[in-house]
Structure 1
Amino acid sequence: MLASVVIPVYNTKPDQLEAAFLSACEQTLDPSSYEIIIIDDHSTSQDTLHLLDVIEGQASRCANHVTVKRLAKNTGLVQVRNFGAQIAKGDFLVFLDSDDLVSSDYLLKGLATMMSGEKIGWTYPNVVGFGFEQNFSRAEDFGIRRLFVYNYCATASMFRKKAWESIKGQRDKTVAGGVKWYEDWATYMSLLVKGWYGEPNRSIVFYYRKNIKSMMTRSPELALASRYVHWRTFVCRLPFMAGAKLNYMKARSGSETTTSPLDPRYYSRQALAMLLRQFLKIDTPVARVKTRYLFYAMARPKKLISELVSLRFLPNPCEQYCGLSESINYSSSSFDEIYSKLSALSPASSSVLVGHYWWRAGGAEQVLLDLCGYLKEIQGRELLDIVVLGRGENKYFSEQFSSVSLCAGILEELSTSPIGRIKALWALICIHKPASIIIMSNPHLYCLAPLIKKYFPSVRIVDLLHCTGATGTLSWFDLSNYYKDFIDTRIVISETYKDFMCGRYGVDESKVLVVHNQVKPMRPQSQQAPSKYSRMALGIPDTNLIVGFLGRLDMQKRPDEFLRLVESTQANSGISYLMGGDGELRSTVEKAASQYGSLSYVGNVKDAGGFLSLCDVVVFFSEYEGMPLVALECASLSVPIIAPDIVGFREPIANGEFGMLYPSCYDGTDHTKVKTIIENDLSKLRLLGPNGPSYVQTYHARYSARPGFDQLINSVLFSKPSICASH
């Protein structure tokens, strides 16, 4: 048994008890892997007793393991919880009060967090208050000092049973004047004394029912006295919480050899690590630094170089991108323990796990979304969506992915530790056991590829690569190449990238599949329903040329260069500029729009067709691109484009001839090149626009990718893998 949900009951209203029971029953975790224990603390309400009789009578027909225990006398909440923990068979415990609720993924994602660190004693959720008063409390970052000052951990935290037993359960304490301490708060502090620490889980929610009685339980004076009892009890135990602090630091660093702050070498190693980081740009874990390095640096430089060259623990760039300070130890017993505990929960599935970085609007994301939609609608596959960050420029892609897939996890919400996110993701993989995995810009899945092929050799791993920028000096192509032996197939979004993949990294052509970006059919504005984007609405003269810019307002898209173009043509009253998008540079754009009369900024654009149809030409200044959707949308509307001569634009312009390229220098002068094209080649540019629709229809029309999808699904995702477990 993996988990136990203990529900203490005392004269609870039947409707509230039923709701709490159902929230425990309707979990996404396999019902056979957890139990529900209801303990009646000698209730006197006939309605409550009747509902307990009904639950007990139907327990044998329930998919869950349900047990109802009745106590001969009233013992109180603390004793009921302790009794529940004693009879619980699960390795993890959740104490759910009989009038509260938990989210449907509470156990599954809670287990993923608990599995991410061996010394995590409890994980605490977000809290939603409902009933007499409604509020929301986000799970705070863990901190021992703050936990001593006030309790920020929810009542229904998930506990490791081993940790609970190490403190011999909860204790009820009452001092003079009938002042009681906070038993939940005291439990967390007692766990810290034993070396355990807490980890927030911001993917799960505890629904705490607030009624009039609970709001008035303790007066401010009594609450202050209770806090004093707590502080007085634990202030002398603070030094004994050093073990919890060390275990927490160890988990955060991802190192299994963290040096204790009580060790005199700790401080000298800290100084040496700082020197290595400052002068040699080596981010070395403190515990891995040897004091002898200082002597070598001064007296034996060759020996120091030899030592540094042999540092096998240094992380590769992909591991660094995950925030790891040293390379992953794949032989660590923790990975095997997670597999042993979770892999037997349910049989292997035919689901597809999709792992990307975030829900961000873009061409590659659209390819991934189209593929997910095809797998869901045509193939009937279950899709599990995992992202590193639970945010993006807008909610569109989040909502679209939610419509075709189940959000299996947001890694930043499952763990605050870099290695913890790796282990939490490994736990989710072991639970779901997908048939195939599609990676798109998810470095954590790259790092787990060796483990996946070791423990699940039949799983197919497919990598969707989209551009050569976005990760600093190394691209996603470079990061992916570190795990090339464990990836079955690469998907790229253009023939150019296929040639790049095969030529630079030596990948066999048969293992690279081209799936073009798809765009929805668009019609010119004259054929569309009325749009809010019109010359009259924006105050643009009918005879003026409209130059447009549409995209994220960030440094990749370089809207600042577009603003330079606007500034440089202020003397030309025959040109108007239209700008749309959102992002970190929005305030700069808004300020420029108020300064330049020829510039109209319309904010975030939902009707791309209406916006682009109004433009006579659309310009780009991007630093890098994969296969830009906006350019393809322009082509479908016969709107010519002017773009930098970079990889993402070369192929569509060469094949479609619907625009012009200029040599980009990124030195602040690119706008002058665009200005020259507008002034000298406008008539030629307008003749190129009508070439766009036929190009889009041939290569990028929606659902024209289905043959490629079928090849991917039948020959790659669900066929016998070519990579064996020996890797």
Structure 2
Amino acid sequence: MRDVAEPAAPRVAIVIPVFRHSGLVIEALESALAQEAPFPILVALVNDGCPYPETEEVGLAYARAYPHRVIYLRKPNGGLASARNHGIRTVLDRYPSVDAIYFLDADNRLRPQAMARAMATLDADPDADWIYPSIDMFGLPSAWDYSGPYSLLQHSTINICEAGSLVRRKVFEDGVFFDQSFRLGWEDWDFFLSAARSGFRGKYLEDFGFRYRKRPESMLMEADREAAQLQGDMAQKHKLLFAPRELVRLEADEAPRYAIYMPDRAELLHCVDPDDDSTRVVDVETHIRQVWQAQVLPGANSAPPFTVVMHSAVLACLRSAGLLHWALWKLEGQLESAHVVGLHISQGTPGRVEIADISGVENKSRIRQAAVAAISPKLLTEVLRDPVSDWIDTVLSANPKPRIDQSELFLPASVADTDRLHRDATSSLLQLIHSLRASPYRVALGQDWQWRSNGATLRNLEYMIPRKRFSGQPVYPRVTRDTSRNMGFLLPMAEFAGVERVAYNIAKAMRARGWSTHAMLLDTGSIKILPDWQDAFDSLGFLSDPDFRLGGAGPQNFLGSPISDWAVSGSHDKVISMLHWLDCVINFHGGAVAGTMGQLRRLGVRTVNSLHVHDLTRFGRPTGNTHVGLAYEHAFDLFAPCSEAMASWLRGMGVPRQKIVTVPNAPGFDLPDSIQAADALTRRRDRSADKPLRALFIGRLDRQKGVDRLDALIRASKSRRLPVDWRVIGSSVMGDSRSLPGGNLAISPEAPLSDPADLAAAYDWADVVVMLSRYEGLPLTVLEAMRSGAVVISTDVGAISEVVQDGKTGILFPDSEDITPALDALELLSGDRDRLRAMSASGFEDMLSRTWQTATQAFSDALEQPTPPVPTDPLKDDRNDDT
């Protein structure tokens, strides 16, 4: 050894920790000293309390022989991370000229040009914060290729960056060091993930010049044996990185999942979320080149794995209907078992959106008329490599050979003009496939382009990384950024009875407050669309999971109420994969879905349980969603009862006061601009007292609403010859066949109403609105009637007495099968119109300030409070001094 004097201002430092490698460290030192670089290099040898005297001898000898190039450091044994940190801090403190630090383990080597090439790459790219190599092993020889763009998404699952990387000084100055608690291994993987969490990124260098010694027994092998514990430690420390929302963001930025081909524009969208800024627009030739690069060198290049075809007008139609993301998720799920899938879009029933699966051999050929078509990633690869195209060409035949799966989406004319949509997506898909097969890049398949084995094994499979959190289920393609405010409304059905109308109105109010609102249908493939639907919801999705069961008896029973077996032991992954991206979900009597709230909450989703009414058994015992909510109280951040009565019940049942935010019901629809409530009140005053009293029932025709009592009341009023004109508006949504043994009301009911103008006209017609319910929450009908000036005659159930003052704004009487009190009330008001007018005016006055904006104020304020404690990503502090 001989001293070669160098300036005392090194630009690169090579840190070599040594523990029990005293016989091999000389090779590492010599390869470091042999670096051929146009800048000075410092070597810091760190003796991590090695028990072998030879390590001390070697360290001292090199430090004496190369006093300007080698420093020798001793410390008590603290592990590899501790030794590296000691070397880093010494270099940072003593050598301000050092721009980057390289880590060389004592049993590895460098080729002479390694530091020069790595530093030149770092200098050439200001966005690169560390330079990492492929792994070329000797001893047990192997070579692993980690080329291609750096991917934090892949790095979250595979350690693609060896510790033998050149790292900029600023990474350490930002506080990123090796975590000394990782004594079993993976400290280098953790280091680079921590650096990435701080915003730093790596860059790959081909032929870096790094040589990795591999032996059958080593620290690496020990780490593999402790993989389970290390995975737990990594998951605990890097929760935010491993969260599905972050993984999907990375997927969108680094490896788009979909290639959406629009043949009318001859361009493709490469994206996860078509509405996110990460979406790239590429031409067909660029896409073809990327596909073949990914086919030829899949470890180094990527292309979107899912090819979806639709005309731009179809895409615009789905986007306008709020169904674009759901459609992509639906198609991706179907491709789990099918080769080619199609989505048909047809004219549906006015005022309804419906989805239906298409089955049967006789319908296979319908794939030719699909508005959207997609092919599975695996099949696309096989077709591109197939010498002939006969097999895939049959997709347009009467008997296609690929496995076909199809769905049909029915949209009303108010949402889309489906007659103008193109229905040739499958033929356009086939044309794109033939363009890919005809590409001159295809010949590259016949040659070997990489002598190393693929180390980045998840390249082109990045979409599988977020799926791991959901047992392989496709992940809803929504990208959320830091400013997102997405609220999901979980609805078992959407016929817009009371609970759904509450959801609808809360959605409108929260949307006006800046939230994006999303209706998620759990147990139906059909939804009723109200006229101002798009004022309430930004998007719509259908769970469409045949395994999901809203209710039903299960193995557990809570306070006498059965808990669905799906809630307890069902597969929740599809539900959670659909909802993970939301900032808040509100469960509107979704039954078994309460069983997923704890898992969503652990993902950082705010969970809210909206409660409205106790169901009653035949014996009058409370049961249903209120009790299911109590069973899962721990999993909900907030309870949003519709009334003070429900809030009091929750407090009495042990729900903490801080978790209860009352959202008192308000009228279920806005009055059309053409209708002024005050004018309606004036018209009521002018009605002749000689005319019959107008009595209205509006609601479901089932036992809960007392339809049998209503029938008896109508018949009794006729028998008593009361001057009453009756109207009954509604139908049996719940299908309770026991409500009327004879099956017929005393008068024929009119069809249910949903249009605000029609509803307003019905209430305006009525002098009184009659309700004979056996149980209620705080029914919207009462509030809507009072706003219109109609007087409510009702059983005193639920929270009705919170808004109806008996004798002042309406007439209440105890819940009973005896209809005499209701009959007497009709007789009283039909004969005393002055009293009717006084009650009408008082009720109208009480409703003037009752709006959904005021009703949701406290709820909105609660959501603005800091998120309740959930697993976080604690920033580590490894700045403890080495001893």
Pick the TM interval, shorter chain.
Answer: 0.5 to 0.7
Provide closer, same or farther for how the CA distance between residues 183 and 623 of structure 1 changes in structure 2, counting only shifts above 3 A.
Answer: same
- In structure 2, C-alpha distance between the alignment counterparts of 1:405 and 1:107, rounded to whole Å: 14
Q: CA deviation at 1:428?
A: 3.9
Is the CA contact (8 Å cut-off) linking 1:173 and 1:181 kept in structure 2? yes
Tell me the secondary structure at the aligned position of residue 769 of structure 2.
strand
What TM-score do you get using the length of structure 2 for normalisation? 0.49
1:492 maps to which residue? 641
Q: CA deviation at 1:89?
A: 1.6
2:627 maps to which residue? 478
| Aligned with residue 5 of structure 1, among 259, 266, 283 | 259
2:276 maps to which residue? 30
CA deviations over 1:155-199 (Å, ceiling 9, x no partner):
843333135446777896779xxxx963356997444xxxxx847
- In structure 1, C-alpha distance between the alignment counterparts of 2:870 and 2:795, rounded to whole Å: 43
1:514-663 paired onto structure 2 within 5 Å: 514-519=662-667, 522-523=677-678, 525=680, 527=682, 542-584=690-732, 604=753, 606-654=757-805, 657-663=808-814
Q: CA deviation at 1:476?
A: 1.7
- In structure 1, C-alpha distance between the alignment counterparts of 2:290 and 2:609, rounded to whole Å: 55
- In structure 2, C-alpha distance between the alignment counterparts of 1:613 and 1:391, rounded to whole Å: 34
1:349 maps to which residue? 484
Tell me the secondary structure at the aligned position of residue 856 of structure 2.
helix
Provide closer, same or farther for how the CA distance between residues 389 and 602 of structure 1 changes in structure 2, counting only shifts above 3 A.
Answer: closer
Amino acid at match of 1:375: M
**Size of the alignment, in residue pairs?**
529
Provide closer, same or farther for how the CA distance between residues 404 and 140 of structure 1 changes in structure 2, counting only shifts above 3 A.
Answer: closer
Q: CA deviation at 1:691?
A: 4.4
- In structure 2, C-alpha distance between the alignment counterparts of 1:528 and 1:421, rounded to whole Å: 57
- In structure 2, C-alpha distance between the alignment counterparts of 1:138 and 1:675, rounded to whole Å: 43
- In structure 1, C-alpha distance between the alignment counterparts of 2:385 and 2:810, rounded to whole Å: 71
Q: CA deviation at 1:115?
A: 6.0
Q: CA deviation at 1:369?
A: 3.9
Q: CA deviation at 1:353?
A: 2.6
Amino acid at match of 2:514: G
Q: CA deviation at 1:404?
A: 3.5
- In structure 1, C-alpha distance between the alignment counterparts of 2:488 and 2:477, rounded to whole Å: 17
Is the CA contact (8 Å cut-off) linking 1:621 and 1:670 kept in structure 2? no
Cα RMSD (Å) of the superposition? 5.5
2:609 maps to which residue? 463
1:344-383 paired onto structure 2 within 5 Å: 346-347=481-482, 349-377=484-512, 379-383=513-517
| Aligned with residue 429 of structure 1, among 544, 555, 579 | 579
Is the CA contact (8 Å cut-off) linking 1:362 and 1:629 kept in structure 2? no
Is the CA contact (8 Å cut-off) linking 1:4 and 1:93 kept in structure 2? yes
2:863 maps to which residue? 717
What TM-score do you get using the length of structure 1 for normalisation? 0.58
Q: Which has the higher contact order (CA 8 A, sep 6+)?
A: 1
- In structure 1, C-alpha distance between the alignment counterparts of 2:600 and 2:359, rounded to whole Å: 33
Provide closer, same or farther for how the CA distance between residues 148 and 705 of structure 1 changes in structure 2, counting only shifts above 3 A.
Answer: closer
2:395 maps to which residue? 183
Matched, 1:160 2:376: yes
| Aligned with residue 687 of structure 1, among 817, 826, 835 | 835
Structure showing the higher helix proportion among its residues: 1
Tell me the secondary structure at the aligned position of residue 823 of structure 2.
helix
Tell me the secondary structure at the aligned position of residue 121 of structure 1.
coil
Provide closer, same or farther for how the CA distance between residues 627 and 393 of structure 1 changes in structure 2, counting only shifts above 3 A.
Answer: farther
Amino acid at match of 1:619: V
CA deviations over 1:302-338 (Å, ceiling 9, x no partner):
xxxxxxxxxxxxxxxxxxxxxxxxxxxxx99561656
- In structure 2, C-alpha distance between the alignment counterparts of 1:170 and 1:528, rounded to whole Å: 78
Consecutive unaligned residues in structure 2, runs of 5 or more: 1-254, 348-352, 428-465, 549-565, 671-675, 873-883
- In structure 2, C-alpha distance between the alignment counterparts of 1:637 and 1:138, rounded to whole Å: 33
Provide closer, same or farther for how the CA distance between residues 435 and 470 of structure 1 changes in structure 2, counting only shifts above 3 A.
Answer: farther
- In structure 1, C-alpha distance between the alignment counterparts of 2:313 and 2:783, rounded to whole Å: 54
Provide closer, same or farther for how the CA distance between residues 661 and 449 of structure 1 changes in structure 2, counting only shifts above 3 A.
Answer: same
Tell me the secondary structure at the aligned position of residue 647 of structure 1.
coil
Provide closer, same or farther for how the CA distance between residues 404 and 186 of structure 1 changes in structure 2, counting only shifts above 3 A.
Answer: same
- In structure 1, C-alpha distance between the alignment counterparts of 2:290 and 2:658, rounded to whole Å: 65
- In structure 2, C-alpha distance between the alignment counterparts of 1:572 and 1:655, rounded to whole Å: 24
1:113 maps to which residue? 330
- In structure 1, C-alpha distance between the alignment counterparts of 2:527 and 2:704, rounded to whole Å: 13
- In structure 2, C-alpha distance between the alignment counterparts of 1:6 and 1:673, rounded to whole Å: 65
Amino acid at match of 2:577: A
Tell me the secondary structure at the aligned position of residue 661 of structure 2.
strand
2:436 maps to which residue? none
Amino acid at match of 2:809: F
Is the CA contact (8 Å cut-off) linking 1:639 and 1:690 kept in structure 2? no
2:287 maps to which residue? 67
Tell me the secondary structure at the aligned position of residue 32 of structure 1.
coil
Amino acid at match of 1:583: S
Is the CA contact (8 Å cut-off) linking 1:109 and 1:203 kept in structure 2? no
Provide closer, same or farther for how the CA distance between residues 526 and 148 of structure 1 changes in structure 2, counting only shifts above 3 A.
Answer: closer
Is the CA contact (8 Å cut-off) linking 1:645 and 1:663 kept in structure 2? yes
2:432 maps to which residue? none
- In structure 2, C-alpha distance between the alignment counterparts of 1:476 and 1:34, rounded to whole Å: 45
Provide closer, same or farther for how the CA distance between residues 106 and 423 of structure 1 changes in structure 2, counting only shifts above 3 A.
Answer: farther
- In structure 2, C-alpha distance between the alignment counterparts of 1:34 and 1:486, rounded to whole Å: 39
Q: CA deviation at 1:496?
A: 0.8
Amino acid at match of 1:544: P
Provide closer, same or farther for how the CA distance between residues 384 and 569 of structure 1 changes in structure 2, counting only shifts above 3 A.
Answer: closer
1:92 maps to which residue? 306
Provide closer, same or farther for how the CA distance between residues 637 and 547 of structure 1 changes in structure 2, counting only shifts above 3 A.
Answer: same
Tell me the secondary structure at the aligned position of residue 513 of structure 1.
coil
Q: CA deviation at 1:507?
A: 0.4
Q: CA deviation at 1:502?
A: 1.4
Matched, 1:402 2:534: yes
Tell me the secondary structure at the aligned position of residue 628 of structure 2.
helix
- In structure 1, C-alpha distance between the alignment counterparts of 2:626 and 2:745, rounded to whole Å: 42
Is the CA contact (8 Å cut-off) linking 2:788 and 2:844 kept in structure 1? no
Provide closer, same or farther for how the CA distance between residues 718 and 609 of structure 1 changes in structure 2, counting only shifts above 3 A.
Answer: same
Q: CA deviation at 1:513?
A: 1.6
Tell me the secondary structure at the aligned position of residue 514 of structure 1.
coil
Tell me the secondary structure at the aligned position of residue 67 of structure 1.
helix
Q: CA deviation at 1:427?
A: 3.2
Is the CA contact (8 Å cut-off) linking 1:393 and 1:583 kept in structure 2? no
Tell me the secondary structure at the aligned position of residue 501 of structure 1.
helix
Amino acid at match of 2:542: I
Is the CA contact (8 Å cut-off) linking 2:609 and 2:640 kept in structure 1? yes
- In structure 2, C-alpha distance between the alignment counterparts of 1:530 and 1:122, rounded to whole Å: 69
Provide closer, same or farther for how the CA distance between residues 699 and 529 of structure 1 changes in structure 2, counting only shifts above 3 A.
Answer: closer
Greater C-alpha radius of gyration: 2
